[in-house]
Amino acid sequence: MKRGRVVFVTGSGSGMGKESVRLLAQKGFKVYAATRDPEKLSGIFEGEVTPVYMDITDPKSVEEAFYGIERLDVLVNNAGYGLVSTVEDLDEKQMFDQFNVNVFGLLRVTKHSIALMREERSGVIVNISSFLGKIGLPLLTMYNATKYAVEGITDSLRYELADFNIRVHSVMPGFFDTQFARANLVTNARTFSEKSPYAYMVSNLAPRIVEQINRGNDAKEVAALIYRIIEDESFPARVTAGEKARKFIPMRKELSDEDFERRVREYYDL
């Protein structure tokens, strides 16, 4: 892709979003780095980076974040968080909030981006999904559901936008060493109570997941994949990133539902 193209990255304050902003700016892209705390991003990148305030849950905030952007070549949908809760313990707000950020927020930003790309009859949309968009795990049901939704959005948009030469891709990371476990996991108090009927599962599974995240791959790997997707017009619809994704996604395709479930139960001692 030619230098000087315009990129909009959500969730730019840390992890994969921050590393994507850094790499794309170094490669000569003009980057709009959307975050709820843009002051933290001022002056920390080499290249042409404009920090933009955006609350992805607020339609007006999303609209205002696009003011003054007349052309857009690439959108990286990275913003998101994970809710750790059993389904039994969920309340209405927790359910809505998880989808409002990971799905509705993504759609709000994508909607504005498509309008700009369609005018140019060209563009690339990269959705940062998860290997949990193809694989279920207990305690992460709502997060799983949102990432399954992102995969469905990706598939449908590939058809919907093809006539306008807009490519749509998803990156399915496994567990990465970002701020996700430290700042972007929200836990349900009832689920994590010692009196919870799910206490054994929580005490066994939750620490293992957090450890795998904190010892996971480097976020720079995802940033490099995003750059490859932008540059390669024949890049596949989706790609895995990280050890866990490369382990489980091919296994999911090869095994029956029942055999795969047995493997997951054995791996996580469920």
Tell me, yes or no, if 143 is annotated catalytic.
yes
254 falls within a domain: yes
Q: Are strands 185-187 and 166-173 parallel, antiparallel or unpaired?
A: unpaired
Q: Would residue 21 count as lying in a domain?
A: yes
C-beta neighbour count of 260 within 10 angstroms:
17
For residue 249, is it within any domain? yes
**Rounded-to-integer distance, Cα 242 and Cα 131, Å:** 9
Which residue positions in the chain have pLDDT lower than 50?
1, 3, 181
Alpha-carbon distances of 210 from 73, 163, 170, 207, rounded to whole Å: 35, 42, 24, 5
- Has residue 137 been placed in a domain? yes
Residue 1 counted as domain residue = no
Q: What is the CATH number of the domain that holds 61?
A: 3.40.50.720
By C-alpha distance, which of 99, 85, 90 is closest to 205?
85
Give the phi and the psi of residue 84 in degrees, each rounded to 5: -105, 110
The catalytic residue among 143, 148, 198, 227 is 143
Residues of the domain holding 238: 6-268
DSSP-assigned beta bridge partners for residue 191: none
* Separation of CA 172 from chain center: 8
CA-CA distances (angstroms) from residue 221 to 52, 74, 114, 171, 269?
Answer: 24, 18, 26, 11, 29
- Contacts of residue 112, Cβ cutoff 8 Å, sequence gap at least 6: 62, 63, 66
How many domains does one find in the chain?
1
**Using CA atoms, how far apart are residues 38 and 176, in angstroms rounded to an integer?**
23
Residue 253 CB neighbours (<10 A): 9
